[in-house]
Chains A and B, each alone.
Chain A
């Protein structure tokens, strides 16, 4: 079985401040990991993905995430927040191997608010 825990359902930062959104996963086999962003009344857009190549993954809009196997974490960061980053962010895990047909399991989401 696989699962995702996103620490903090709501994170608030000032414009220009560091963004850190936390994600911990559980998987019995090597995982594929994803971060998605959802703007109000829209679908989900892929920010970045980890597929067992480089552990530091760069995505769109200046976001990056680091896969840390020892900590079972895949935290999302951005050095300087913009007002346009305000959205809900979802971490997701897909199991590599086994009989799970690579089903995607989502965390419950973190709502990011950016204050001027």
Chain B
């Protein structure tokens, strides 16, 4: 029962570097999303996907790219890391029905120096 798996758990980058945060779910969920969590800000939606091949922007999409080639995977790409992207990133998934709760991964703690 893996649920939502995020890798890596921790990462330190230098400004300007790029990287991909991985997210995989084994529950055959249609909907997947990425959030960032910053102190005192709650969780803010970066990007989301309602199914393979379909993605859309959330509240704070700048500096991030996503794609969804399979139902299981939803990677988040930082093209050119900036210190303002230092945060904890959470991936979540749920079925296609809006009243179902989202299942969260354990997060990736990212520091940009």
Picked from B44, B98, B104, B107, the residue with its CB within 8 Å of the CB of A102 is B98
Closest 10 CB pairs of A and B: A102-B98, A43-B104, A108-B42, A51-B99, A106-B42, A44-B104, A106-B43, A32-B99, A46-B101, A43-B106
**SS class, residues of chain B in contact with chain A:** strand
Q: Is the CB of A42 within 8 A of B106?
A: yes
Picked from B31, B43, B45, B58, the residue with its CB within 8 Å of the CB of A90 is B43
Chain A contacts to B: CB under 8 angstroms: 9, 32, 34, 36, 42-46, 49, 51-52, 90, 94-96, 101-109
Chain B residues lying within 8 Å of A108, measured Cβ to Cβ, are: 40-42
Supposing A43-B90, A101-B48, A103-B48 touch, asked if A49 and B58 sit within 8 A by C-beta, the answer is no
Given the complex of chains A and B, what is the CA–CA distance between A52 and B31 in angstroms? 21
Given the complex of chains A and B, what is the CA–CA distance between A46 and B3 in angstroms? 14
Chain A residues lying within 8 Å of B105, measured Cβ to Cβ, are: 43
Supposing A101-B56, A103-B45, A108-B41 touch, asked if A43 and B99 sit within 8 A by C-beta, the answer is no
